[in-house]
A and B are shown apart, each in its own frame.
Chain A
Amino acid sequence: MTGDSPSDRQLLAALPRQPELMAVLYERHAPAVFRYLARRAGPPAAEDLLSEVFIAALSASSRVVAHDSGSGLPWLYGIALNVLRVHFRQQRPTPGVTRDFGMDWEAVDSRLDAWAERGRLRTALAVLSDPDRELLLLVGWEGLSQAEAATALGISHGAVRVRLHRARKRALHALEKLQDSDPGSGGTHVTTLYSKEQPS
């Protein structure tokens, strides 16, 4: 980082006294946070939610520290996750559709070509708890390292390692069972494989 461009670590340390520095973080990370939101809620919702993430970050900035890598992005992803949860909770329920407080599946489906592929991805992710699914996608979609994902989720690197290991094996196992039971499809198995209680 050059002298003209302060590091995220420096910006985060100064944020409690200089909230205007959040604008610098915005210029630096808004595109990545937009993609994070768009992957889970679709681009139209991402546009609405993007400012909410950074405004929430502004109010939480007194407690933040940068990840060891120096990047503030994992912290912003953690805030974006909670903004998304609030967003999905506020959505009007659709009759007959189980609500998912972390994902707009229509937005996800639109990025996969084949109907069977959509079902397989849903099946693989549906066997995971919300935190485990988020961990898997932070690494798979956002390209975070395990250590960075730990910062985003507020847990230790060791915990991430164990959870990611468990999450991957459960998801892989679900895909294998789906393949064994009906190699040609995948879309109809989700509801039978997965019965999930709503969060209290």
Chain B
Amino acid sequence: MNRLDELIAASAGVPDGTPDELGNARAALDAAIVARMRQDSPAGRKAANRWWSGRRGMAFVGVAGVAAAVAATVIVIPSSSPHPATSPRADSSAKPTVKAKAPARAKRTATTPGTSPVSYTFTVASTDVTAAYVFQKAAQSTPDGNAPLVNGWPDAPYWQTVSQIASSTCPGVVETSTDWLARSGAVVVQNVTSGPKSSMTSACIGPTGQSTYPVYNNPSGPMIGGKIYTWSQFSALPTDPARLQSILAADATVGVAPDKGESESDFLFQTIGILLTSDPVSPALRKALYAVWAEIPGVTVSGQYTDSLGRTGTALSFGSSTTVVDISNGQVLAQLDGAPPIPPGCVRATTAGNPHASCVVGGSGTTVYISAGPVSSEPSV
């Protein structure tokens, strides 16, 4: 346990609520429930009266008394639980399937992050490429160190990343995050949440009516496991894949433990994805990271991805996550939870002419990386 975890653990202890404290809140909730039932319909009013009659006099019963509380009412349990946030839908207007073997070069569309939600689609495509091929192509297409990269790399003062997250629970809500990481370790972060006001409810993250999160300065740098690197230390990481892999593997679980149920390989797969999307990775290091990625056994190609910016990538799935890579330039385009969702009736197409070859689902819950690279301008705070 590191110093941060010790502090968090030491400050976690609070007394449990007393029966009186929990009972008072329960009484207020009961009144609200009755009011809600009575406003629904005449039948609801009767039901409320019955429920309230049975409820009166009951104190907070706690977990052991849940069955008794359940018995105070009649529960109509549906046979299946709706899951609107992730329910996939077939879309007859889907873009034609593009064979992943020869993806179109990504269009470079100018975008102003945060001004309008980007719509994302994941198209399940026929593909016969292997993960090894994708990693190899991504590494090969990454510009080498002598290429005239934008804005003066490797001497640029800032590394800027722009990403967007579509809320998985609040329809239409998109959060755009722009990070400027300076060589000095200073960081400026700007988060802008956009979306219909009707979605800014108590069930959604983001306070009602607030669209901009604070902008702040703080020291930071690339991190592998629990070790924070300066830019120069980060650039000095070995680009020999075997040596780099040993460092990543050794540090992978230091400081940031894998989530419940994650394997170390799963964690390593994600760590590389984070480095490629968040940190000032030199072209040589980027190539090496792809080479290490390729050595993780069990990574599968799960389809073709397109977004409304016109970018196309190949989705690589492993463990609990999927990462989309543009093999035309080595950029990571998006990360999704788990394997891409497949709509009912849609099968992964393996042969031409399959009527379900193109299936498009909403991209809710996906992180899309708009851009990542060196910039020379100092952000205004």
Contacts and interface: CB of A to CB of B under 8 A. Distances in A.
Interface string A73-103: 0010011011101100000000000000100
B214 A199 contact: yes
Interface residues of A, number: 103
Which among B8, B60, B187, B366 has the greatest number of chain A C-beta atoms within 10 A? B8
A145 B218 contact: no
From A22, A34, A75, A169, name the one whose CB has the most chain B CB atoms within 10 angstroms: A169
B210 interface: yes
Contacts of B204: 78, 82, 154
Given A13-B77, A21-B75, A82-B208, A175 B25 contact: no
A193 B222 CA distance: 20
Contact of A156 (B27, B201, B261, B366): B366
Contacts of B67: 4-5
A90 B228 CA distance: 39
A19 B214 contact: no
A26 B21 contact: no
Contacts of B211: 200
Interface string A141-170: 100011100110111111101101110111
B221 to A, nearest CB: 7
A2 B215 CA distance: 49
Contacts of A128: 218
B223 A165 contact: yes
B175 to A, nearest CB: 8
Interface in A22-37: 22-24, 26-28, 30-31, 34-35
Given A55-B32, A164-B256, A166-B278, A18 B203 contact: no
A86 B210 CA distance: 12
Contacts of B69: 23-24, 27
B301 interface: no
Nearest to B11: A111
B81 A9 contact: yes
Nearest to A146: B259
Given A10-B81, A172-B228, 11 more contacts: A13-B78, A14-B77, A27-B62, A35-B16, A58-B36, A121-B8, A124-B7, A131-B213, A137-B8, A150-B365, A156-B168
Q: Which 7 A-B pairs have the closest CB atoms?
A: A169-B223, A127-B218, A51-B28, A156-B365, A140-B8, A34-B17, A51-B25
Interface of A: 4-6, 9-14, 17-24, 26-28, 30-31, 34-35, 38-39, 43, 46-47, 50-51, 54-60, 63-66, 75, 78-79, 81-83, 85-86, 101, 108, 111-112, 117, 120-121, 124, 127-131, 136-137, 140-141, 145-147, 150-151, 153-159, 161-162, 164-166, 168-177, 179, 193-200
